[in-house]
Amino acid sequence: MEEKIRVLVVDDSFLMRRIISDIINSDPELEVVGRAKDGAEAVDKVLALAPDVVTLDVNLPVKDGIGALEDIMKKKPTRVIMLSAYTRAGASATMRALELGAVDFIAKPSGEISLGLDKLKNDIIIKIKLVAKVNLDRYIESLQPASLTLVKEEVKPALIKKLVIIGASTGGPRAIMDIIQDIQLDLPAAFLIIQHMPKGFTLSFAERIAWHSGIRAKEAEADDILAPGRIFIAPAGFHMILEAHRQQVRLRLNQDPMVNFVRPAIDVTMFSAAEIFGKDIIGVILTGMGRDGLEGARRVKEKGGRIIVQDEETSVIWGMPKSIIKAGLADEVLPIYKISEAITKYIYS
Name the nearest CA neighbour of 223 among 195, 204, 249.
249
Of residues 196, 212, 239, 323, which has the active-site annotation? Answer: 196
Of residues 11, 52, 292, 311, which has the active-site annotation? Answer: 292
The rounded Cα 11 to chain-centroid distance in angstroms is: 23
Return all residues near 57 (Cβ < 8 A) that are at least 6 apart.
Answer: 10, 11, 12, 16, 65, 82, 83, 84
Is 212 tagged catalytic? Answer: no
Of residues 21, 92, 169, 323, which has the active-site annotation? Answer: 169
Cis peptide before 264, with omega less than 30 degrees from 0?
yes
Is 52 tagged catalytic? Answer: no
- Per the CB < 8 A criterion, the answer to whether 175 and 183 are in contact is no
Is 169 tagged catalytic? Answer: yes
Q: For residues 106 and 271, what is the distance between their CA atoms, to the nearest angstrom? A: 29
Q: In angstroms, how far is the first alpha carbon of the chain from the final one?
A: 54
- For residue 269, count other CB atoms closer than 10 A to its CB: 26
- Quote the strand ranges of 142-225, DSSP E: 162-168, 189-195, 216-219
- For residue 308, count other CB atoms closer than 10 A to its CB: 26
Name the nearest CA neighbour of 207 among 316, 341, 86, 88.
88
Q: In what order do the strands lie in the sheet with 189-195?
A: 216-219, 230-233, 189-195, 162-168, 281-285, 306-310, 332-334
The rounded Cα 93 to chain-centroid distance in angstroms is: 14
Could you list the active site residues?
A: 169, 196, 292
